Each structure stands twice: as structure tokens, then as C-alpha cells.
Structure 1
Amino acid sequence: MPRFSVIVPAYRVQAYLHACLDSVLDQSFKDYEIIVVDDCSPDACGPIADEYAVRDPRVSAVHLPRNSGLGPARNAGVARATGDYLLFLDADDTFAPEALQAIADRLEATGGPDVLVYDYARTYWSGESVRNTFAEHLSEAGPASFRLADRPELLKVLMVVWNKAYRREFIEAGGFTFPPGYYEDTPWTYPVLMAAGSIAVLDTVCVGYRQRRRGNILSTTTRRHFDVFDQYDRVFAFIDARPELAVWRPVMFRRMLDHFSTLFTSRDRLPRGTRVEFFRRARAHCRRYRTPGAPVPRRARLRHALFRLGAHRTYRALWTAQRLRGRLGRTAASVNRAVRAAALQLHYRVQLLLPVRSGDAVFAAYWHRGYTCSPAALEATARALVPGLRTSWICRPEDAHTVPDTTRVLHPGTAAYWTALARSRYLVNNVNFDRRLVKRRGQVLLQTHHGTPLKTMGTDLVHRPAAAGGMDFGQLLRNVDKWDFSLSANQHSTLVWERTYPSGYTTLEYGSPRNDVFHRADPGRTARLRERLGVPEGSTALLYAPTHRDYRRAQQHTLDLDRLVRVLGPRFVILARSHYLDATSRATAGHTRHPRIIDVSAHPSVEELCLASDGLITDYSSLMFDYVNLDRPVVLHLEDAQAYEASRGTYFDPAAFPPGAVARDQEELHEIFATDHWRGPRSAQRRAAFRARFCPYDDGHAAERVVRRVFLDETSEMPPPAQPAGRGPTGVPRQVPVREYTNG
């Protein structure tokens, strides 16, 4: 008897069935059977099912003699199932990696409930993945298992069959079956949840819910949407046959009206000329099953009342008016934006005629993200060293909390923003300012960049269209011509910047201000950071920080974090951080939410994450050049090196001169940690050589050198500092010998 029976009904999904079945067979958890039910599909679904059944004994194919629909197809699968738990997976959807292991673990931890509800994410053809918006209702806090009455908000999670695991004995004892017709999930999920003696939740994305552009049966225009009335008849018949469930009648009545409203106002579901009939049947159901008692949101009260009254024309008129108001509102908003933009540019032109304010400086980083990187280090240092300097920081409203109270916050696109750009003497950024910036005589623009370049940059991208995308190289060079100073951390950076950003600026090869913090942190701060991030005391925290992939639309990374954290064991914690360009994804996307994987993508300071960690796992990220200042282990995971080199390109092979151990696949990464090579003497030797080459000026005073040169105009040459000592995992300085190292 397997632990799981995974039931996959298949009809006209030949393009997706391989991916669906592979997502099950590729799971690390292997105690399951797969029952593919070919619902007399006219395409290749049947042969595909047979192919998998021949290849793997855990797969069986059931061929129905005629097309019966999803409900009967699932019933056929249930009849063949022998597993402890039934799991349903639509043939165009997929299981997330490690989903079955996460489900099995949660079932074990919660004592084998009748039903386990887990999360899903909508996946799109573009590669975008959007998690269920009601995920907060799947919080695992509180009792391990419960009844629906204890957590009725669970009904807000999409009421479908495939985001739940069902104990087979409970299903058989209750006689639950799927009815024919559309919306067959409705008379299954509601009765099952109401009758369940124990329910548990799993706050983990286990299913990728494919959003097909065409072919979704619920998005087709057909009279079969009228099946919804029969399905709710079945729900209320189930309740009426069990007096103990009468408390759920008002809840089901309200949800029925919400469902009717959604169908009635959907533009592409009901055929032309059938809306009056649909409304009349909805009114009849309202009269038949009306059960007041459940709270109704204010915005839904009018809709419910109109259904009960049968006021079809009034409902239709209000619906049409609402749509028209939305269109007019969008048009008006577009006009307002255009007028506002023109007014702001006029305001900017006026400000350009006024004198430059010699005591004003404006800073920004990463296209108006929070207070971070070298501009933040320079802002704090300039405020301390330059008498009378008034500083401002440009950032999005959601990042304003990261800016110190002593610094003025400017939001992009406001009048104050354009005034600051027009009249501040000093302009500091790690990317370019708005292309409409007019560089005035008397203004000083400092470009700090954001890391030592490993990946191809600037004009070197001309011949790499996959990485350049729609980059306007002419505009790029016009922006570069506005620079007065270009900050460089080392000679390698100087050579790259001056070639790829050619112009007449002055290079300041002074070190990286954002790394000053690594030479000043104390053990107390490090301990507080770890506690704030949720790192258990005594654990080894590994920061996983992959870079952006230009050749991928979806930023799912090759490293399987769930598998890695299980291999590492209970003493390790992974701090997973996405690249800032991957705003719609997370480093943990596609992974289960393992308790020892902490998603820190939203943390405002990568420098703090470095301080809080004991080691770094990365690939081509410039973070490796900063992290070696801490003299903590760095491991490179370069599984897609060939693809990355072909699309983006690098200035040197990181595997030939690495800051630590190098893994070319996940198995090699596991071995590096199993043998302790990740923090062994060979890795330390590589790290020291890497630091000597790329961090010769990083001593904790880079920001001060820059401020004295740019803001205080101290032009006397300062000798480069000696190679700084390394810093241990606690933030306490410790001497690490620097030795020459050549690999190959």
C-alpha cells in the first residue's frame, strides 16, 4: 500500500501531460502510485499514459470508453487507488520540487488528518509565478489539526480538489464522489471539509496551477456553466441530510451568491442571450436556500439583494455602469499623468534657471530602492565630515523607512525630486540618474557603480543582445558623459569601467565604501542581526545569493535548496536572497518552505546579511568580491556556466581564479560540504589570493577617502592602505595569511 495515490485525469492536454507526470516522478519522495485516467481523449493523452505505465511500474493508465468529464474521470481514479492518501493533480498542472516530501512530513507531524490543505501558485506562459493571495490562511501556527469550525477562514482559499490530500479511508467511509458537469469540485470540497474530523494545513507551495491562454474549460463560452445550479443543489442536500452541519447553511448560501455573481459578470462564460435565464435561476436558488446569518461584506450586499429580488435589469445596469466608470477612470488617470508629467518638466526647467545650492547633496541607489550600497556609506560619511552639508535620498515610498531620520527623503517623480536634481551641487548614484537630468555647470556627479565587474558590462554588451535586451547604447553614453568621477574598487574595475564607459571622467581607485562596514562590525551587532533574522543559536548560516540570469525569463535557480538543507543537516540554516532585479520571484521560488530556509530577499541591506552569515554560496554575483573582506568561506555553484558565458559573458573564468571551493553541479556541492572542503585550508588559500587581488584598498576607510576627494576637494595623493586583516564569522578581526595562489 503506497503512501499516496496521485490521480491525474487527462483530456486534450497532450502538450502538458509529460511535464505533469515528470513533476511527480522527479520527486525525491518515492512512496506513491500514479493513476492516469484517459477520459477518452481525442489527442495523444492515452498513448502518453501508456508510455509512462510501461516505463515505470508505479504508473497505471485507465482508459474510459467515452468522454465523461472531470468528475467521473476522478471517480475512476479513486476506484483504482490503494494509497493511504488521495492526491489529485490536473494534467496541465505540476507538483513543485519536494512537494510530496513536504506533504508526507506534514501529515506525519499532524497525526494523519482527514484532510491536508496545501498552497499553490499560478504559473504563466511567461514563466511568472504568483502565489495564492490567501496564503496567510494556511499559517501553521496553532493546533496541528482542527475542524473547519475552528478556522472557517480556510474557505477563502480556492475551493478546488487539487490543493488537498485526503485520507482514503475517510473518503470511502463518507461515500464522497464527484458529480458530472462543470464545477464538480464544489459538491466535493465543501462537503469534505465540513465533514472532516480533522484538518491540517501546509504553508508551502506544492502545486503550479497553469494559467492557460486558451483551453481552460471554465473560460469557455457554453451553457454548461448552468451546471453550477445542480452542484449547489448537491451541497445543500448534503447539509440538509446532516442536522449537525446546519450551522454551515448560511455560509454556503453566501458563497453560492458570490459564485453566481462571478459567473454572471464574467464576460466570456455565459452565451449571448442566456443571462436573463441565468439570473432567473439564480433568483430561484436564492429563494429556495436563503439562510441569513453569515456576515456579508458591504460591497456584496447590494449584489445579493438584487439576486434575491430578481432585479436583472437593475443588476445589469449597475454592472455596465461600473465597467464604464472603470474605463472613464482609467482614461482620466492617463490624462492626469500626462498633464502632471508636463507640469513637472516645466517646474524642472524653471529650477534649472536658479542657482545651484553648494551645500546640497542628493543620493540614490539601485533605481530608487532603499538606503544601501556605496551611496549609503558615502551619505553617512559626508554628513559626518562635511560641515553644513544637507543630504537627500531618493527612494520609493515603500523603502523610506530604511533612510536615516537625519536625511531628507525624496520620492521619484515629485516636484521636490526634480528640484533636488536641478539645484544640488553633489549627485551620487550607483546607477544612472533619470535620462532627462541636465548636468549643470557647478554640479558634481559621482558614479559609484555597484560591485566589481565579473559579468560583461556597458558597451561590451553591444554584441550580446540576450543580455543587452533593449539597451539604448547612445543614451548610455550620453549618461556617462555626465559623470565627473567614477569610483573603482581595484585595478581590474578601473580597466573595465574606463573601456566600457568611455568618457572624460576622473577615476577614483579608492576601494569600495559599501565594504567599510565589514571592517567595523562588532560581535554584538552580528549576534543581534542573526537573532533578528531568526537564525537559531549555534547554527551555521549560509547566505545563498545567486545573480540575475539574462537568458531566463523565469528566475528559478538550478540549486535545489530543499535538498541541500536536508543534506547539510540540522546545524545549518540557509539565508536565501534573490537578486534585486528578480522582483517577481524569490530565491526560494519553486521550493518548499523548509523551516531552515529563511527567505531574506526583502531585507534592505545585503551587507547586514553578509555579517549575519558564516559562509556564502553564489555563482557570478559581484557579492563574492565584497564577501571575502570578512574572510569567511565562499563556495561557487556554477552549474550553468556554459549557458551563462554564452548569454552574458564574464571578464575572467571564476572557476580558474575562485574565492573558494567550486561546484559544477549539486552533487559536487554536497560533497564540498560533506568533506568540509568549503572551509578547508585550500579554500582559505584561494580566498586570500582573491582578496589580495580585488580588495587592496578595502580597509574600512574607503568612504572617507572618497568624501575628502569629492566633497572637500582634498587632492593630495593618499598612499593605498596595507592589505587589511581578515574578519572571522563573529565579526572579530583575526589575522589570515595572504599567500600567492595560481590555479592552472
Structure 2
Amino acid sequence: MPRFSIVVPVFKVQGYLHECLDSVLGQSYPDLEVIAVDDRSPDGCGAILDEYAARDERVRVLHLPENVGLGRARNAGLEQARGDYVLFLDSDDFYTPGLLAAVADRLRSAEDPDILVFDHVRTHWWGRGGPSDASALLARAGQDVFSLREKPEYVHLFLVAWNKAYRRDFFQEHGLRYAPGLYEDAPVTYRSMVLADRIACLNRIGVEYRQRRQGAITKTPGRRHFDIFQQYEGLFAFLEERDDLAWARPLLFERAMDHMLFVIAREDRVTPSDRADFHREIRAFHRRHCPEGFTPPDDARGTEMRLLASAPYPAFAALRGVRGLRRIAGAGKRRTTAKVSKAAQSAWYAAQLRLPLDPHLVVYSASHHSGVSGDPAAIHAKAREIAPQLRGVWVVREDAVDALPPGIDHVTPGSRRYHAVMARATYWVNNVNWPGTVVKRPGQIQVHTHEGTPLKYMGADLLAKPGARYGYSVPKLLHRADRWDLSLVANRHSELVWERAYPCHFASVRTGSPRNDVLVNAPAERGSSVRERLGIPADHTVVLYAPTRREYRRGGHVDRIDLARFAADLGAGHTLVVRLHPTLAAGPARGLGLADLHARGVLVDATDEPHVEDVMLASDVLVTDYSSLMFDYANLDRPIVIHADDWGAYAASRGAYFDITAEAPGHVSRSYRELAWLFASGTWRDEEAAGLRAAFRERFCEFDDGHAAERVVRQLLLGEAPGGEGAVVSIPRAADGSARLPQYS
């Protein structure tokens, strides 16, 4: 008997079916069966299902003699299920790698609850995606097991079939079945939640919920949306037969009202001509089932619920119309106020721009004002040490201020002091572009540090890669780059790339990367102290996995490796540390089990560590795909493994300056099997790997000698004469010490 039965109803999804089934059958947890229900699909779905069944004995196909709809197709599959737990998956969606292994682990730790709920991510047809509204609730649940009566707030979890694993005996015991028609998920979800004695949560994205451009029945306007009333009538008929569930009636009544009011407000569901009839049905349901003493929520939705008890449709329509007018009027008022405020601020900023420059003021920023990090942080730290006369001020977003180290002088974007600092600072230091709204004056020097050595296409080179530059303008990017005066480089490769990718007015300076000084100079005990802080045993081999984003994937999130499987395959005496790309840290990729795996001690999630240099120092080997982190890590002269299972797709979509698989800093794996073998066999650190790494370091760590930050401070900020092999450029200066460089106009 398998652990999991996956029921997949299928109808007119032949373009998505392969991806769906592959996502299930490719799971690292193999103890499953797939019950695919062909709901008399008129396309090629039936033949596709039969092909899968012929190849994999875990697949069973049920061809229905007539089309019965999603709910009854699920019921037909359920009748054939033999697993301990049953899961439902819509055939145009798909599982994330490692989901079933994580579900199995959580079920074991929760001692086989009645229901396990996991997270999902919504992906739209045009490429945009976003996390679910349930993420915070799932995270808050932690390792608890509870009933809905104990934690009624969990009634707000997304009411669908495919984000749960149901204990099959529980499902059968209570006769849970899906009714025909739309909104069939709601009564089964709510009925099961109130009946369950033991509910557990898994804070992990398990399903990519595809929002198709066409084909979604729930987004097709028409009378079918009146099915919602029949669905909830069935639920409340059940509740009213059960005196022991009286506590749940107010809770589910509020949810039913919210759901119905949500549907009536959607133009893609209820047509304007049907809206009055739909509203009458809501009022009728309200009269029949409103529990005694029910109190609506204290918000706009609650106001709508109160009107249901006393006012006909015109009052409801007027309320929504007034609310819309208020939004419009409020927006107009805000626009007027903003115009006045903006004009006053512009006048004040213009006055600041007429004041003399401060030759000792340096303004710093890193990664779009996210905090103190990278090359700017290393330059700032060295300036405080050897040039205390230079006053450094950081530009930091409001949401990042609380995480600043003690003693950091800072301003927030848009504030008065921000404009004063930007207007009067002689030096601007940043690793990305400054906003186009700030004015660069004659005499101001912009030092651009970049964010690492480039492998993927950047700047003007992206003009040939429309998918990779989607969402931003290359001409505007280059217009801002025209303000650069000095471009720091760590090697000749970077120098050539930046001059091609940014055909602007700057001078390249061979300083090395200031942030890498710590990698060259750090004492061995620093890495040990980081390990101790992260809870890593001192004698473990630490494998750092640092993937980059994918422009060809929705949201850029990475799921190339089943992390739990990799951690297990590394074996005893190893710790897997994961560091996501900064642009993925708050996105869907974070939900691919990292939080759960970290909480259970399977791996260490170091994505939020403020200094990536510390994470590198704590590791023994780097596994990456195409992250520029590899160029920095090479300074440590420690093994690097390139996992390039999708190199062709990545290079085609983003573009690359050279073939990293042919000029790698170590061994290259092109499948998970090869990656696991490299570590199991010890090949990852053999003599061939050392030779590849030496050649890579010679090429890409050329100017990183541990003194980059000092060179920047002494030669670029203080104007000391350069000397020796570390010389960079000599900057002409006026009598007051200000630089004389070609200025942006």
C-alpha cells in the first residue's frame, strides 16, 4: 500500500499535462501512486495518460464514459485510492521538487494528523507570480498540531483541494465527497477542517498554481457562478444536523458571506445583468443561516454584511459606488497634496544644490539602499580606519534601518537630509545606479563598484536578450551610468566587459574588489566563529550551495536541486548551507522548503546572513550554478563545483560572456546524479579540481591582493599619489582637493 495517492482529474490540458505528471513522478519520494482521471477530455489527454501508465506502473488511468466535472472526477479517483494519504492535484498545476519528501517528514513528526496543509505560489500567464495569502499563517503554526476550534484563525487558509494531504481513513470515515458544479472545494475544505481533531501545517511551497489566460471556468462570467449557493447550502445542512459543531457555524457563516461578496464584486464572474439576482440569493442565504448573535467583522466587508440584513441591492450597489468614489477622490486629494509637497521639496533641493560641496563628505549605498554591505561597506570601513576626516553617510531604505550596525550615520531616500547629503557630498559610492531623480553636480565623483565579476550579460549587451531585460529600459540604465566617473575592476575580464556593456564616460580603475579583502586576509578563526554562530559542528565539512536566479523561469526562482535529498546524500559529518540570490530572498523560492528544512536541522538557511563573506569563510566547498559568487570564492582557494544542468537554457535566455562549463573553477555536474557522485567519490577535491581552480584564480582574482579598499580610500578619496604595482589611476585635483574629472551633463 503506497504512502500517497495523488488524484489528478484531467480535462482539456494537453499543453500542461506532461509538466504536471513529471512533477509528481520525478519526486525524490517514490512511495506513491497516481490516479489520473480522464474526464472524457476531447483533446489528446487520454492518450498522454495511457503513455505514462505504460512507462510507469505507479500510474493508473481511469477513463470516464462521460464528462462529469472536476468534483465528481475527484470522487471517482478517490474510490480507486489505496494510499495512507490522498492528495488532489489539478492537471494544469505542478508540484515543486522535494514536496512529497517534505510532506512525508512532516506527517511523521506530527504523528499522522488528519490533515496537513502546505503552501502554494500563484503564477500568471504573463510571467508574474506571487506568494499566497496563507504564508504567514503557515509559518506561525510551526510544529504545532491543533484543531480548528483551538485555532479558528486557520479557517482563512486557502479553500482548495490541492494544498492538503488528507488521511484517507479520515476522508472515508466522514464521507467527504465533492459535489458537482463550481466552488466544489469550499464545502469539503470547511467540513473537513471542522471535523479534524488534528491539523498540521508545512511552511513550504508545494504547488505552482497556474493562472491561465484562458480556460479557467471560475473566471468565465455567467449563471454558473450561482452554484456557490448550492455548495454552501449543503455545508450548512450538514452543520445544522450536528449539535456538536454549533461552535463552527458563526465562523463558517462569516467565511460564506465573505466568499459570496467576493464573487459578486468580480466582473469576470457575475455579469452586471445578473448582479441584482445574485445579491438577492446572498440575502436569502443570510436570512436562512445567520447564527443568533453573529457579529460581522469590523471592516468594509463587515459593513456589506450588515447591509444584507436590512437593505436591498440598490443600497449595496450605492455603498460600493460611494467607496469607489471615495477612492478616486482620495487619490485626487493625495495627488494634489503630493504636487504641493513635491514642489516645495524641489525648491529646497535646488537651494541645496547651490551650496558648496563638502570635500570630506562621502555618501554610500549598496544594493538599492538595502543596508551596509558589499564593496561600499568595505570602503566605508577602511575610510573610518585610515581617514577619519572623511564623513560617511549611508542611504538606507526605511525598512532596513533597524538592521543597521551600531554607529552608522544614515539617511532615508526622499528625506530632507537625504537631498542635502546628495547635493553636497563630493563622493558618491554605490554598487548599483543612483536614482535618476538626483542631480550630479560638477565636482562630484561617482565611484561605481559593481556587484561582482560578470558571467551573464549586463547593460547594453542585454539589448539582444529581450526576455532578460524585461521590465527595465537599457537606454535609461545607460543614461544613469553616464554619471559614473570611476569603475572598479578585479580583473581584466571585468574591465573589458564593463567598457563594452556600459559605453559611457568612466575610467576603469584596477583596484581589486574591496569586499574580497576579508577573504584574502581573514584569520582562520573567523570562519570558525561563524560556524559556531550558525550552529555548525566544528568538525563538519560545510557545503555552501549558492544558486542564482533564472530569467527564463517565472519569478526567477530556483528549484534545480531537491535540497533535502542533497543534504541526506552528503551523509554524516557534512552540513549543507544554502544562500539564495538576494533578489530571491523574499520571493517564492524561499518557500521551497528552506524554512522547514532549516527548522528541522536538515540544512542551514543562510540567506538572511548580512555578510555573504562570513558564509563563504565558514564553508569548505562552494556548489553553485552561474552565480558571480564563484569569482569571489576563488580567492579562498577552496574547491568549487559548478552544477550546470540547465546551462544551455540559461545561456540562451540571459547570455554569457564565456562558457563556464568549459572554463570552470572545478568539476562540472550536469545532473543531480553527477553532483551526488562528485561528493560521494571525493572527486570534488581531487588534483584535477585544484588545477582548474588555480587557472581560474589566476584569471579572475588578478587584482585581489587584500588591499583593494585601502587603494580606493588613499588614491581615489584622499588623492594620495599611487605607487607600486597596485597603482590604479592618478586623479587631477584642484587646490581645494576636489577632483577634476570629465563631468556628466
State the TM-score bracket (shorter-chain normalisation). Answer: 0.7 to 0.9
Once the two structures are TM-superposed, the CA of residue 439 in structure 1 deviates from its matched residue by 4.0
> Quick one: which amino acid aligns to residue 565 of structure 1?
A
Shift of 1:645: 4.0
Could you tell me which residue of structure 2 aligns to residue 302 of structure 1?
303
Is this contact kept in 2: 1:576–1:588, CA < 8 A?
no
Note if 1:606 corresponds to 2:612.
yes
| Equivalent-residue separation in structure 2 for 1:135 and 1:537 (angstroms) | 34
Alpha-carbon distance between aligned partners in 2 of 1:217 and 1:65, rounded to the nearest angstrom: 22
Superposition CA RMSD, Å: 3.2
The residue type equivalent to 2:72 in the other structure is: P
Q: Is the 8 A contact 2:86 2:168 kept in 1?
A: yes
Q: Which residue of 1 aligns with 2:214?
A: 214
Is the CA contact 1:368–1:396 (under 8 Å) kept in the aligned structure 2?
Answer: yes
Which stretch of structure 1 is more off in the superposition, 35-44 or 472-481? 472-481
Aligned pairs for 1:377-416 (under 5 A) are: 377-416=378-417
Contact 2:129 2:554 in 1 (8 A): no
1:230-629 mapped onto 2 (5 Å cutoff):
230-292=230-292, 296-299=296-299, 300-333=301-334, 344-435=345-436, 438-458=439-459, 467=468, 479=480, 482-498=483-499, 501=502, 505-522=506-523, 525-533=526-534, 535=536, 538-557=539-558, 559-562=560-563, 563-582=565-584, 585=587, 590=592, 593-595=596-598, 596-629=602-635
2: CA distance between counterparts of 1:481 and 1:259? 53
Aligned partner (choices 616, 631, 642) of residue 637 of structure 2? 631
Of residues 363-372 and 547-556 in structure 1, the stretch that sits farther from structure 2 once superposed is 547-556
Cα 1:408–1:11 shift into 2, 3 Å: same
CA distance in 2, matches of 1:460, 1:543: 30
**Matches of 1:185 and 1:498, distance apart in 2:** 57
Normalised TM-score (structure 1):
0.88
Distance apart, 1:284 and its partner CA:
2.8
Q: How many angstroms does 1:469 deviate by?
A: 5.9
Q: For 1:355 and 1:628, how far apart are their aligned partners in 2?
A: 44
1:567–1:250 distance in 2 versus 1, CA, 3 Å: same
Q: CA shift at 1:132, angstroms?
A: 2.0
Give the direction of change, closer, same or farther, for the CA distance of 1:159–1:386 in structure 2 (3 Å limit): same
Given the alignment of the two structures, is residue 46 of structure 1 paired with residue 46 of structure 2, yes or no? yes
Aligned length: 721
* Contact 1:5 1:82 survives alignment (8 Å): yes
Letter in 1 for 2:115: V
1:196 aligns with 2:196: yes
**Deviation at 1:466?**
5.5
1:643 deviates by 3.8
CA contact (8 A) 2:130 2:588 kept: no
- For residues 284 and 542 of structure 2, what CA distance do their matches in structure 1 show? 61
Task: State the distance in 1 between where 2:46 and 2:511 align.
Answer: 67
Deviation at 1:70, TM superposition (A): 2.1
Q: Could you tell me which residue of structure 1 aligns to residue 648 of structure 2?
A: 642
Query: 1:659-690 deviations in whole A, cap 9, x for unaligned?
Result: 33322332221111111222334434443443
Contact 2:357 2:426 in 1 (8 A): yes
User: Partner of 1:94 in structure 2?
Assistant: 94
- Post-superposition Cα deviations, 1:269-299, rounded to whole Å, max 9, x if no partner, equal 2233333333333223223222256764310
Aligned equivalent of 1:169: 169
* Alpha-carbon separation, structure 1, partners of 2:654 and 2:335: 37
**For the residues of structure 1 that align with 2:474 and 2:96, how far apart are their CA atoms?**
40
Q: Distance in 2 between matches of 1:47 and 1:642?
A: 31
Which digits, 9 at most, give the CA deviation of each residue in 1:5-56, with x for residues without a partner?
A: 2222223333323322222222233332222223333444334334433443
Asked if 1:103 is matched to 2:103, the reply is: yes
Cα 1:76–1:654, aligned 2, differ >3 Å: closer, same or farther? closer
Would you say the 8 A contact 1:8–1:36 is kept in 2? Answer: yes
Contact kept? 2:142, 2:201, Cα under 8 Å: no
SS of the residue 1:150 aligns to: coil
SS state at 1:393 partner:
strand
Closer/same/farther in 2, CA of residues 382 and 23 from structure 1, 3 Å limit: same
Q: Which amino acid aligns with 1:18?
A: H
State the 1:153 CA deviation. Answer: 2.4
Q: Deviations over 1:533-565 (max 9, x none)?
A: 454665433222233444555424463142322
- CA distance in 1: counterparts of 2:292 and 2:614, whole angstroms: 54
8 Å Cα contact 1:558-1:639 kept in structure 2: no
Secondary structure in 1 aligned to 2:709? helix
What is the distance in 1 between the residues matched to 2:141 and 2:410? 38
Kept in 2, the 8 Å contact 1:121–1:207? The answer is: yes
Amino acid corresponding to residue 564 of structure 1 in structure 2? F
TM-superposed CA distance for 1:222, in Å, is 2.1
Deviation at 1:481, TM superposition (A): 5.0
Contact conserved, 1:661 with 1:683, CA < 8 A, in 2?
A: yes
Rounded Cα–Cα distance in structure 1 between residues aligned with 2:418 and 2:176:
63
Is contact 1:488-1:510 (8 Å) kept? Answer: yes
Q: Which amino acid aligns with 1:440?
A: R
CA distance in 1, matches of 2:31, 2:173: 24
- Indicate whether 1:670 and 2:676 are aligned: yes
CA shift digits 1:479-513 (9 cap, x unpaired) = 55544333222344344445555666554323221
SS of equivalent residue, structure 2 residue 149:
helix
Give the match's secondary structure for 2:677: helix
Give, in whole Å, the separation in 1 of the partners of 2:373 and 2:255. 47
Q: Is the contact between residue 588 and residue 599 of structure 1 (CA under 8 Å) also seen in structure 2?
A: no
The 2-side partners of 1:2 and 1:291 are apart by: 43
Give the Å deviation of 1:708: 0.9
- What's the % identity of the aligned pairs? 45
For 1:160, the equivalent position in structure 2 comes to 160
Report the Cα distance in structure 2 between the residues aligned to 1:613 and 1:241, rounded to whole angstroms: 61
> Mind listing any 5+ residue stretches in structure 2 that lack a counterpart?
728-745
In structure 1, the partner of 2:712 is 706
Moved more, 581-590 or 657-666: 581-590
For the residue of structure 2 that corresponds to 1:378, the secondary structure is: helix
Instruction: Map 1:128-143; keep pairs closer than 5 Å.
Output: 128-139=128-139
Structure 2 CA distance for partners of 1:291 and 1:539, relative to 1, 3 Å:
farther
Name the CA distance, whole Å, in 2 between partners of 1:501 and 1:175.
66
